[in-house]
Amino acid sequence: MRCAVSLTHLAVRASYHPVMSDARSSESGFPIQSVYTAADLPAELDARLGEPGEFPYTRGVYPTMYTSRPWTMRQYAGFGTATESNARYHQLLRAGTMGLSVAFDLPTQMGYDSDDPIAHGEVGKVGVAIDSIEDMRTLFGGIPLDKVSTSMTINAPGSVLLLLYQLVAEENGVPGAALNGTIQNDILKEYIARGTYIFPPKPSLRLVADTFAYCRAEVPKWNTISISGYHMAEAGASPAQEVAFTLANGVEYVRAALAAGLAVDDFAPRLSFFFVARTTLLEEVAKFRAARRIWARLMRDEFGAKNPKSMMLRFHTQTAGVQLTAQQPEVNLVRVAVQGLGAVLGGTQSLHTNSFDEAIALPTEKAARLALRTQQVLAYETDLTATVDPFAGSYVVEAMTAEVEAAATELMDRVFDHGSAVDAIEAGFQKREIEQSAYRIAQEIDSGERVVVGLNRFQIDEEEPYEPLRVDPAIEAAQGERLARLRAERDSGAVERALTELRAAAEGDANVLYPMKEALRARATVGEVCGTLREVWGIYRPSDRF
């Protein structure tokens, strides 16, 4: 079904001077002029801008933005065992991190236990292994869950990890109403760009809607989804593609929640987004501003939202890991600083700055601390927090904002020409568009047209030695032993009864999170819970029709 409001009509195109033949092109494909003037400003600029904290939120979602307090500084961390990751979290909190961001290993992301044969060789490698409530207790041991904000990068089993977090909080006397944080829970981008899906799209969307309803009742301050363009950008999407495909997925989640009987203003204020920040600073600032404007108009005009918070596009930003190089890795410190600057100038609500060594291995403690210090310099040593939206009225940024807005809305219309974001995914539209962009970027790097310092220009003959953080391969065996003890000590009858209740809910139309929570409380494992849902809903393969 096509949007009732044509998205292209939401973006009023600017009129531009002829571009010189030697003009550079932006990441989104429009020409960048060597000089911008007042004639390049889009029509009706005042209406396009609004005031900070007011529709259409171009200038930011809050009236004071960083002048009253800075953005939330997060550091993405998680590796090996829950014990090791817990130690890193305590280090980051002591260093001044304001929020935690959890990386999970691939078996956890795919809903498998560490002792499952399919998990062999991947346990603890790209994040922390979480198999049960016992691991979650260890992961957050000694951390005041009523005082920190926790973001969890988890999608297909996002509801499972959220419930484990809630259970641990309750054991420590922290009610669900006191918890703050986010689960990524964005399954659609997994079919487009990342691949850590489990179930087919329809039951996956049902699980997302069940999570919306559960959190509204039980964990009301929790952000139930982080609709992500970051991973599409890492796969090669341009800024316009990143905005278009992310917001199109957002429309799909809104429709799914409405179809489940939820009112738009009951769940939309808890929607959040996740974008990348590249080194192309001006276009990135324009991208963030354009995305806010498009989403505000969509929510008001397409879905009839009345609550201003339903129209606010609140987002987390991570600096671009794909732009980091293993060659001369210290140069990444400069890249990350520029990327972080773009995110702040673009009005992000929270920020993760990558460590300079992430192109080589998991970040060391020193590298993670330096990444955090980068944010602290931006917040406390510059004047970025002295005024709201410093680029407002800029000839170049306002022109670029209009260009990104126009390109993104046109792409969104092409998505909805397929019927919906899911229909476009089935047709392979988004994936093809991103692959074409990625191929173009690779060609430009290979030819030298796109300069990457230290990689294809300004190389050095010999790299300095660097000792990366290494994950102990014995972790997999240790996790297997923990699981064996868990299964021997728990009440297996209680686990089986709880999983039976979960299966019945999945087969019907009841909210699956309530029986899921009881199964996890009984010490069912992540793999057992996801395996139960696999039995009912099946698994998705790219060749499947849906």
Residue 216 has pLDDT above 90, yes or no: yes
Q: Does pTM top 0.85 for this prediction? A: yes
Q: What is the mean pLDDT of residues 93-111?
A: 91
pLDDT for 481: 96
Q: Note whether 171 and 137 are within 8 A (CB).
A: yes
Model pLDDT for residues 315-357, shown as the tens digit of each residue:
999 999 999 999 999 999 999 999 999 999 999 999 999 999 9
pLDDT for 16: 31
| Per-residue confidence band for 23, with pLDDT thresholds at 50, 70 and 90 | low
What does the CA dihedral 172, 177, 183, 186 come to, rounded to 10 degrees?
150
What is d(CA 30, CA 258) in angstroms, rounded to the nearest whole number? 36
Residue 399 has pLDDT above 80, yes or no: yes
Q: Are strands 99-103 and 149-153 parallel, antiparallel or unpaired?
A: parallel
Q: Are strands 315-319 and 271-277 parallel, antiparallel or unpaired?
A: parallel
Q: Are strands 225-228 and 222-223 parallel, antiparallel or unpaired?
A: unpaired
| Domain 56-425 class, CATH top level | alpha beta
What is d(CA 72, CA 99) in angstroms, rounded to the nearest whole number? 7
| Per-residue confidence band for 486, with pLDDT thresholds at 50, 70 and 90 | very high
Give residue limits of the domains in the chain.
56-425, 473-537
What is d(CA 126, CA 138) in angstroms, rounded to the nearest whole number? 18
- 421-424 — which CB contacts under 8 Å span 24+ positions? 421/188, 421/245, 421/248, 421/249, 421/251, 421/252, 422/188, 422/201, 422/205, 422/252, 422/546, 424/248
pLDDT for 75: 79
Tokens matching residue 127: 């994040």
What is d(CA 153, CA 141) in angstroms, rounded to the nearest whole number? 19
How far CA 313 is from CA of 155, 157, 212, 219, in Å, comes to: 20, 24, 17, 20
Q: What is the mean pLDDT of residues 20-34?
A: 82
Residue 291 has pLDDT above 50, yes or no: yes
Mean pLDDT of the chain: 92
pLDDT for 543: 62
What are the phi and psi torsion angles at 206 (to 5°)? -60, -40
For the ranges 266-280, 375-389, 398-412, 450-464, which has the lowest average pLDDT? 450-464
Q: Would you tell me how many other CB atoms lie within 10 Å of the CB of residue 52? A: 20
What is d(CA 70, CA 354) in angstroms, rounded to the nearest whole number? 18
Q: Are strands 99-103 and 72-77 parallel, antiparallel or unpaired?
A: parallel
HSE-CB at 344 with a 13 A cutoff on CA atoms is 28
Residue 121 has pLDDT above 80, yes or no: yes
